[in-house]
Amino acid sequence: MFTYSTAGAGTCSRVILFDVKDNKLHGVKFIGGCSGNLQGVARLVEGRDIDEVEKLLLGIKCKNNTSCPDQLSKAITAYKKSISGEKN
């Protein structure tokens, strides 16, 4: 399970958790935030290709020029960097 902290990002959710298998997202969970909306986002991205989701959600704005979906996109980017060994 990959864990991404949104602390300081200005979003309602604080942490995003997810698994990736065969480049597909699974078990996305948001800690904090608007429960109903984020359950909907999690269901909509379930089983989808991480590259597709990353591009689709990037740049969606809410508070402080980011949003929970935008943060999921950033979490996927961080995940990809972590598996490639790339530094920030």
Tens place of pLDDT per residue across the chain (88 aa): 999 999 767 788 999 999 999 999 999 999 999 999 999 999 999 999 999 999 999 999 987 889 999 999 999 999 999 999 876 5
- What range does the domain containing 65 cover? 2-84
Q: Which of 39, 5, 42 is nearest to 25 (CA)?
A: 42
Domain holding 17: CATH number? 3.90.1010
Structural domains counted in the chain: 1
Distances (CA, A) of 28 to 35, 48, 55, 61, 66: 13, 11, 17, 20, 18
Name every residue whose Cβ is closer than 8 Å to that of residue 59 and which is 6 or more positions away in sequence.
Answer: 70, 73
Q: What is the pLDDT of residue 64?
A: 85
Q: Which of 35, 44, 40, 31 is nearest to 1 (CA)?
A: 31
Q: What is the pLDDT of residue 88?
A: 57
